[in-house]
Amino acid sequence: MFVIVGLGNPGSKYELTRHNIGFLTIDRLAKREGARVDRIKFKSLIGEININGEKVILVKPQTFMNLSGEAVREVMNFYKVDLKNLLVVVDDIDITPFTLRLKKSGSAGSHNGMKSIIYNLNDDKFPRLKVGVGNNERKIDLANYVLSGFEKKDQEKLENIIDASCDAILDFIKHGADYVMNNYNNKLSE
């Protein structure tokens, strides 16, 4: 069994923001697999798919970003999934825009959602798929930047990186973290 968590903030106000790249990815994956992420459980919207005979729980925490760990802790406590089978999809301003980077573990950096997950799980040894969302070239307040939308000129790149994120998730489930790291890390989505 796998648990795939996409980070974001609930509500239409945040729907297409940089901080919601995790939600956008979970929604796209569910749609591709003919599922819906609409059951309310564990302070989250939950859905389920099956990949290669593996049950995969899709999670969109509804606690708002800074408290995401509360929802993730509830999901993990209920399903008793090994941390290596938890994958968190998260926006990252520190990697090249529209690229992916899977890490098997590590610190949260400046990301409050990741800080909350690490705190609530009392562990940082779980994979995370980081999606580059831009590097704040305009030097606006960080919170305002991640809560802003993508520029129109970047819509195709956004669509492509969401699709690539879905492909990476499926390959994570089928082939493991090392495969994804070797085949997706730092490759620009065309």
**Active centre residues (catalytic):** 19
Q: Which residues pair with 50 in a beta bridge?
A: 55
Q: Which two three-digit tokens encode residue 87?
A: 């994958």
Q: Which residues contact 164 (CB under 8 A, 6 or more apart)?
A: 100, 184, 189
Is 66 assigned to a binding site?
Answer: yes
- Is 179 marked as a binding-site residue? no
150 is an annotated ligand-binding site residue: no
Q: Which residues of the chain form beta strands (DSSP E)?
A: 2-6, 39-41, 44-51, 54-61, 86-92, 100-103, 128-132
Burial 150-161 (b: 16+ CB within 10 A, else e): beeeeeebbeeb
Which helix (H) or strand (E) segment is 170 a member of?
helix 155-175
9 has binding-site annotation: no
Per the annotation, binding residues for tRNA are 14, 64, 66, 112
Per the annotation, binding residues are 14, 64, 66, 112
